[in-house]
Amino acid sequence: MPKQPVQQRILKYAITALIVIGSIWSASGLEITLEKILKAPEQIAILVGAMFPLDLSSEAIERILPKVAESLFIAWAGTVIGAVFSFPVSFLAANNVAANYISETTKQILNGIRAFPELILAFVFLPITGLGALTGTLAIGIHSIGTLGKLSSEVIEGIDEGPLEAIKSSGGSKINELLFGVVPQVMPTITSYWLYRFEINLRASAVLGVVGAGGVGAELINQLRFRDFPRAGTVLVATVVLVLTVDTISAAIRRRIIKGRSIKV
């Protein structure tokens, strides 16, 4: 029976060893003992138990609901910023639309923006725009420009050049090629990326509250600090409900966009 090529086997063993050693080194470095691991489930159960019954008093709801809505607004506004600015930039970053030196530079700039988590961007904006939703929106918006820009440029780079050739051969200009050849091909996928980004941004905006950039995060951390677990549980459930709802609607819309409408003749 032929054996797997030696090089491949060595690589596989090396990687497995790397993972195992890495994990053990990490676990010991972090002082994670078996005792701690075994105790954990019980501790978690205690916490979850303390959250129920949830605090559904009108006082709680009055405090929490606006914050949950705020997270929604921040996520949407941030995504809009990301979509609007990333769209033109993505053309510049696509090597089949823009010259190589332009597309390479743009890609590197986008990578630079992408590298910073939204939270770090929020940090940077806090002293400038102060506490509140605007900071969160800017942080999410700018980070989204980076990710959406990169993803959109990849979609543009993957199109079928055939229709572009047809337009060119009929005397169309480069702009015609872009508008009638590229855009119709990429819009469905790019729009679905925008929606997916909205789903992710919603989670990010929930978190940003922790540093005071608006949204539910501040509520949760306060309730946990004051050990008001039922209220914390409410915050959690409210967040989950919001995210699930948005996820489901967004997924349905995305499916419809990709599938397209069929007309019977």
Are 242 and 72 contacting, i.e. CB atoms less than 8 angstroms apart? Answer: yes
User: Whose Cβ is closer to another protein: residue 26's or residue 105's?
Assistant: 26
The C-alpha angle 59, 62, 63, rounded to 5 degrees, equals 90
Residue 252: exposure state from Cβ atoms within 10 A (0-12, 13-18, ≥19) = exposed
The C-alpha angle 104, 106, 110, rounded to 5 degrees, equals 115
Q: Residue 15 Cβ, how far from another protein at the closest point, in Å?
A: 8
Q: Residue 257 Cβ, how far from another protein at the closest point, in Å?
A: 8
Q: Residue 101 Cβ, how far from another protein at the closest point, in Å?
A: 20
Residue at token pair 């050049």: 161
Q: Residue 5 Cβ, how far from another protein at the closest point, in Å?
A: 12
Residue at token pair 């890609």: 107
Largest distance between two CA atoms of the chain = 75
Count Cα neighbours of 145 within 13 Å in the Cβ-side half-sphere.
19
Tell whether the torsion through CA atoms of 101, 105, 108 and 114 is positive or negative: negative
User: Whose Cβ is closer to another protein: residue 3's or residue 227's?
Assistant: 227
List the structure tokens of 235: 């915050």
Q: Residue 76 Cβ, how far from another protein at the closest point, in Å?
A: 5
Q: Residue 184 Cβ, how far from another protein at the closest point, in Å?
A: 5
Amino acid in the structure at residue 179: L
